[in-house]
């Protein structure tokens, strides 16, 4: 659970030493399961170290919408946004392309799963007892244990919350 700034006593830092891992964060993701009508919370160890770098790398591989040429009128919404002084043939992104939409959906799902798998601070083992090493093997271990998309989203959120203060999140939510 996140704490607010007023609940934490600041620790003053006067120097940073390379490799001291001062900003490493770890904690637990809480995942609810229900078995035979009885609710239970599972505590899964998580870490945030390296998550930003992973997400930057994954984001750089996001699919791009195809470009198509389209006649844009100067008085249209797009024409005004582009600041056109006359009607003009422009290259525009086609965000409605079905192949792009499917690729983006798969990318977003993999983005969440890769982040969750990377952040879980526990060993994932296959049925034969050997350690799962590939993304697909690790994902299968989690799915075969009943981890749902909702569970993955909760773990993803808890990883993000490791380094956020509660009032920062509340301020963000109140702006909408």
Q: How many CB atoms lie within 10 A of CB 162?
A: 19
pLDDT band at 176 (very low <50, low <70, confident <90, very high): very low
Q: Which helix (H) or strand (E) holds 136?
A: helix 135-144
Secondary structure element (H or E) that encloses residue 42, with its range: strand 38-47
Question: Each residue of 9-24: pLDDT tens digit?
Answer: 888 989 989 988 888 8
- Asked if the model's pLDDT at residue 125 lies above 90, the reply is yes
Reported confidence tier of residue 172, pLDDT bands at 50, 70, 90: very low
SS3 call for 9: coil
Backbone φ and ψ of 140, nearest 5°: -65, -40
Mean pLDDT within 39-47: 95
* Average pLDDT of the residues in 152-170: 78
Answer yes or no: pTM beyond 0.75: no
Instruction: Report CA dihedral (111, 113, 118, 124) to the nearest 10 degrees.
Output: -160
* Residue (of 160, 169, 118, 159) closest to 139 by Cα position: 118
Query: CB-hemisphere CA count at 13 Å for 84?
Result: 17
């Amino acid at each position: 659970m996140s704490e607010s700034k007023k609940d934490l006593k600041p620790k003053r830092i006067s120097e940073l030493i390379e490799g001291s891992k001062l900003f490493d964060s770890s904690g637990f993701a809480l995942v609810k399961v229900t078995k035979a009508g009885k609710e239970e919370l599972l505590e899964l160890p998580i870490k945030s170290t390296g998550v930003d770098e992973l997400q930057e790398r994954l984001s750089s591989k996001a699919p791009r919408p195809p470009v198509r040429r389209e006649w844009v009128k100067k008085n249209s919404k797009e024409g005004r946004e582009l600041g056109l002084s006359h009607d003009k043939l422009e290259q525009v992104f086609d965000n409605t392309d079905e192949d792009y939409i499917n690729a983006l959906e798969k990318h977003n799902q993999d983005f969440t799963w890769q982040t969750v798998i990377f952040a879980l601070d526990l060993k994932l083992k296959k049925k034969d007892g050997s350690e799962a090493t590939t993304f697909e093997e690790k994902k299968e271990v989690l799915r075969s244990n009943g981890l749902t998309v909702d569970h993955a989203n909760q773990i993803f959120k808890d990883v993000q919350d490791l380094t956020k203060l509660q009032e920062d999140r509340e301020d963000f939510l109140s702006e909408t």
